[in-house]
Amino acid sequence: MTSDPSSITTRFAPSPTGRLHVGNIRTALHNWMLARVSGGEFVLRIDDTDAERSKEEYVEAIRADLAWLGLDPAREERQSARLDAYEAAFERLREAGRIYPAYETQQELELKRKVLLGRGKPPIYDRAALALSEEERAAKEAEGTRPHWRFKLDHEEAIAWEDGVRGAVKFDPAQLSDPVIRRADGSWLYMLPSTVDDIDMGITQVLRGEDHVSNTAVQIQMFTALGAEPPSFAHEALLVGKEGKLSKRLGSLGCDAFRERGIEPEAIVALLARLGTSLPVEPIADRAALLATFDLSTFGRAPAKFDEAELERVNTAIVHQMEYAAVKARLPEGMDEAGWHAVRPNVSTINEVGEWWRLVTGPIEAVAFDGETRGYLTQALSALEWGDDPWGALTSALKESTGRKGKALFLPLRQALTGMNHGPDMGELLPLIGEDEARARLAHAAQG
């Protein structure tokens, strides 16, 4: 399937061998954004050629995570359904002399690598397999040695492209090993299937991590060998932890972990959309606003530092912006818009709402007051008049009658009515508690 040549088509191509982690999510997001800003298509390609490690449960999890994040693909493709296409491309390249069999064992290759490194040379494959005669190849296969297959790089011209993030990039193909594209058991490695897919699926923009830069150099030659125009490439800096190095923790942080902690998808998107760019990370929940500022020219070359504390700050700010309609289904039973408005400034996640709502529904923890304070609360019970602003009326009356002000005026009332020293605005909370319950709590506190 090919796309309109005038439109942009991007792809996110995870292998279903585990859950998506924060680095994968960032790649998916940026590809989704790159497609959206151009009115193009974002394709989900499941790279499931590794039948042994690929699990359908992970495919379902990938779909669910993208849906939760609001990253909706225009279509989904499965590599396992496209094996015939890879076989056909393999035969074309073999007939053109661009693929050759190699018979070294993994141990032999590792020894060659160590020898070259020991001599201070780059560990480039020496193309020894190309020097084998037909008779030598036949002898190896007669011995039961099955070949793996390498793509033969053209050493004549430098490989160059204008990278969307890194600018002008140039490789000497003689300084690259001919990549293994197929194992001895017939299974595929990443390089060739990905290239064939990009051609057949009309992918026009490939945005991925900078660890793929040398892969791109190889794949550009594959596109050319298959008679196709390579897509545009951009390689973004990888994520690192706040200490400035890669962390196992980053590899385990995924949507399930974020959901468990009460992190909103809007917060993840707001952070990752701008992480590694020159734009400030801001708690922007509006996707259109984020898309309006998305531009590969803002992406930097320095590693992008992911800080969980920063995500939590963004999440708190996002939660404080959320309207009742957006959270209604996730709030405790009986909590109305006034309740949400009252507790919203005190929560950093929706998970915390229930604890604050308990101040309204009860029971609350009793506070032990001294005799003087109990007398003050008795006065409060007498002074309580229920109207449009019972808290304002009560504190004004007590200030007038007792001369108290500040903490001495407000804190005992909050403690008696909520069992806490801090919390939501009492002007909003007291009407939610209700007159009868408020009087009962004051009377209980006054009695000690």
> Tell me: the pLDDT tens digits for 63-95?
999 999 999 999 999 999 999 999 999 999 999
Q: Is the pLDDT reported for residue 176 higher than 80?
A: yes
- What is the 3-state secondary structure of the chain? CCCCCCCCEEEECCCCCCCCCHHHHHHHHHHHHHHHHCCCEEEEEECCCCCCCCCHHHHHHHHHHHHHHCCCCCEEEEHHHCHHHHHHHHHHHHHCCCEEEECCCHHHHHHHHHHHHHCCCCCCCCCHHHHCCHHHHHHHHHCCCCCEEEECCCCCCCEEEEECCCEEEEECHHHCCCCEEECCCCCECCHHHHHHHHHHCCCCEEEEEHHHHHHHHHHHHHHHHCCCCCCEEEEECCEEECCCCCCHHHHHCCHHHHHHCCCCHHHHHHHHHHCCECCCCCCCCCHHHHHHCCCHHHECCCCEEECHHHHHHHHHHHHHHCCHHHHHHHCCCCCCHHHHHHHHHHCCCHHHHHHHHHHHHCCCCCCCCCHHHHHHHHHHHHHCCCCCCHHHHHHHHHHHHHCCCHHHHHHHHHHHHHCCCCCCCHHHHHHHHCHHHHHHHHHHHHHC
Bridge partner residues of 234 (DSSP): 207
When pLDDT is averaged across residues 29-39 and rounded to a whole number, the result is: 96
Q: What per-residue confidence (pLDDT) applies to 1?
A: 36
What residue segments make up the domains of the chain, in order of their start?
Answer: 1-78+237-321, 85-182, 329-448
CATH 1.10.10.350 fits 329-448, yes or no: yes
> Tell me: the pLDDT tens digits for 424-442?
999 999 999 999 999 999 9
When pLDDT is averaged across residues 326-345 and rounded to a whole number, the result is: 97
Residue 245: pLDDT band with limits 50, 70, 90: low
When pLDDT is averaged across residues 394-419 and rounded to a whole number, the result is: 96
Residue 2: pLDDT band with limits 50, 70, 90: very low
Q: What per-residue confidence (pLDDT) applies to 374?
A: 96
- Which structure tokens are listed for 323? 């309207």
Residue 247: pLDDT band with limits 50, 70, 90: low
Q: What per-residue confidence (pLDDT) applies to 275?
A: 96
Architecture of domain 1-78+237-321: 3-Layer(aba) Sandwich (3.40)
148-151 vs 99-102, strand pairing mode: antiparallel
Q: Is the pLDDT reported for residue 248 higher than 70?
A: no
When pLDDT is averaged across residues 157-167 and rounded to a whole number, the result is: 97
Q: Is the pLDDT reported for residue 250 higher than 90?
A: no
Q: Is the pLDDT reported for residue 52 higher than 70?
A: yes
Q: What per-residue confidence (pLDDT) applies to 5?
A: 46
Which of 10, 27, 18, 12 lies closest to 60 in space, CA to CA?
18
Q: Which CATH class is domain 85-182?
A: alpha beta
Lowest mean pLDDT among 4-8, 152-156, 442-446: 4-8
Q: What per-residue confidence (pLDDT) applies to 35?
A: 97
**pLDDT above 70 covers what percent of the chain?**
98
pTM: 0.91
When pLDDT is averaged across residues 398-411 and rounded to a whole number, the result is: 96
When pLDDT is averaged across residues 382-398 and rounded to a whole number, the result is: 96
Q: Is the pLDDT reported for residue 383 higher than 90?
A: yes
Lowest mean pLDDT among 216-230, 248-262, 304-318: 248-262
Q: What per-residue confidence (pLDDT) applies to 246?
A: 59
Residue 243: pLDDT band with limits 50, 70, 90: confident
